[in-house]
Chains A and B, each alone.
Chain A
Amino acid sequence: MMTVLAQKDFKIRYRNSVLGFLWSLLNPLAYMVILTLVFSLLLRVSIPNFAAWVLIGILVWRFFSIGTAQGLSTLVANPSLVSKVCIPRHVIVLSNNVANFLGSALEFLVLVPLLALLGVDLTAYALFLPVILVSEFLLVFGLSLSLSALNLRYRDFYQLWDIALQLGFFLSPIVYDASLIPSGFQLVYSLNPVTRLIESARDIFLLNKLPTLFDNAVILSSIAIILAFGFLIFRRLEGRFAEEL
């Protein structure tokens, strides 16, 4: 059932548009061009190969922001699935996350060769990408579980998460280098799992090295905490889902 629902979400995303999946590629590319123009040419940020560097950040961020924003709405958007049929509710959330995971994987798959065009030497380290994407998927799933359950009770979470994502965009090193953060805040700043995912992705593509132990430690422990928390909240609130929709 999870597979069928994920396929459904995946198909719907690109129906009714002429360019379909191409949008998934054009959107990050357009972002890359805009950000490169603004930061590299106008603000003269001196990061080597800024276009490639920023594209990787955008792709990682896209999966996180779209994945959680959609995951948050899944239960509210499918009231009949929640209150008219007895299926495991987490499957509704999971299938949406899987659809976004596939979308993100495809984006990477198509756009990574573009990195070569931008002058990046791709090495075998790039094969570490699935590990990064799966970690990010687990993070998105854990967050979607809590957010979708909370949003079902308080619709405010839709707005709150929207703001949180805007904040998150600037609290992650997507358009600037993490070294710009004042040293007093470095530790707190670096504990953000999305930051670690972005840095990991840049490591394997641009710096030809594996993510550091610190990256992996932060990512793994946040996955554990967020997933556990997600299941806990979901379990807790699930009993009254059908009544509150």
Chain B
Amino acid sequence: MSVIQVDELWKRFRIPHERRVTVLEHLAGLLSILERKRYSYEEFWALKDVNLKLEYGESLGIVGPNGSGKSTLLKLIARVMRPDKGAIKTNGSTASVLELGIGFHSDLTVKENALVYGVIMGLPRSEMRKRTDSILDFAGLTRFQDAKLKSLSSGMQVRLAFSIAIEIEADIFLVDEALAVGDMEFQEKCLNKFREFKKAKKSIVLVSHSMDLVKRFCERTLYLLNGETRAFGPSEEATRQYLEDVKSSTGTN
């Protein structure tokens, strides 16, 4: 049984030529239609006919240059955006860690923020209350629990967010570059958590620029280029293709 199945997925963005975002500008735009100057926007296909299938227990890496559609695909799988064509089927509960610390507010205490973020990430409130102490312990922030969030360094804030994010129980984890933060000890803790997920046969969908990370955790990798599938298959092959492309385009060997 597949965990994620994406069929002929297309996603379009509209980029207005002149950004008319106010009502007045739109009115002016309507007038210019009358004058036969068309109100124009550029259609930009962020994803073109993407297909993929992920089997139970497998993880997926998504790689590619900036602007190739990686994050868009992740948002579509997370159901934050809707596809224009095609379908995405997911089997099991999803947790999306597209950004760390969503809903954090600098004037609330560390503990209060932990509760807010945990609940936004889908943990029940009662569960969150029970786990706050162990979360703060994991993040190494117990003695700051009643301090306002703004008194924490940005690194510490991210640690807090990540410590909560990994408490989420789900079958599929969608992760966007979130690992590129924290000190080495903390990164190691996170990788351990990833290994636990893998052991529990949970799926991770990882958008990353680290080929190393992708190869370590993901059986399959999708290499996107300009919104199209350049390669999809075993991570070793897909990442090799990406590296070759990068080498040939930059002219290095």
Contacts and interface: CB of A to CB of B under 8 A. Distances in A.
B98 A84 contact: yes
Contact of A86 (B13, B21, B23, B80): B80
Given A8-B105, A8-B108, A84 B96 contact: yes
Contacts of B116: 4-5, 8
A217 interface: no
B125 to A, nearest CB: 6
B162 to A, nearest CB: 15
Contacts of A243: 13, 81
Contacts, number: 71
Task: Give the top 6 A-B pairs by smallest Cβ distance, nearest first.
Answer: A80-B102, A15-B107, A84-B99, A4-B119, A84-B98, A156-B23
Contacts of B102: 80-81, 84-85
A83 B75 contact: yes
Contact of B112 (A3, A8, A242): A8
A16 B21 contact: no
Contacts of B108: 8, 11-12, 15
A1 B116 CA distance: 8
Given A4-B125, A239-B82, A78 B103 contact: yes
A3 B119 CA distance: 10
A12 B103 contact: no
A14 to B, nearest CB: 10
Nearest to B75: A242
Most buried by B among A12, A86, A153, A160: A86
B39 to A, nearest CB: 15
Interface residues of B, number: 28
Given A80-B102, A83-B80, A156 B125 contact: no
A215 B93 CA distance: 48
Contacts of B26: 154
Nearest to B20: A154
Interface size class on chain A is 20 to 34
12 contacts: A12-B105, A78-B103, A80-B102, A84-B75, A84-B80, A84-B96, A84-B99, A85-B78, A85-B120, A86-B96, A154-B23, A155-B21
Interface in A45-72: none
A80 B119 CA distance: 14
A16 B105 CA distance: 12
A32 B144 CA distance: 43
B24 interface: yes
Contacts of B96: 84-86
Nearest to A83: B80
Contacts of A83: 75, 80-81
Interface in B59-81: 75, 78-81
A154 B16 CA distance: 14
Contacts of B125: 3-4
Contacts of B81: 83, 242-243
A225 interface: no
Interface string B110-137: 0010011001110001000000000000
Interface of A: 1, 3-5, 8, 11-12, 15-16, 78, 80-81, 83-87, 153-156, 160, 239, 242-243
Contacts of A153: 21
A80 B103 contact: yes
Contacts of A155: 21-22
Given A5-B120, A78-B103, 17 more contacts: A1-B119, A4-B116, A4-B119, A5-B119, A8-B108, A12-B105, A80-B102, A80-B103, A83-B81, A84-B75, A84-B80, A85-B80, A85-B99, A85-B102, A154-B21, A242-B80, A243-B13
Interface in B2-30: 13, 21-24, 26
B213 to A, nearest CB: 21
A171 B81 CA distance: 41
B173 to A, nearest CB: 13
A85 B121 contact: yes
B112 A11 contact: yes
A32 to B, nearest CB: 29
Nearest to B123: A1
Contacts of A11: 108, 112
Contacts of A81: 102-103, 120
A5 B120 CA distance: 9
A86 B112 contact: no
B43 to A, nearest CB: 13
Contacts of B112: 8, 11
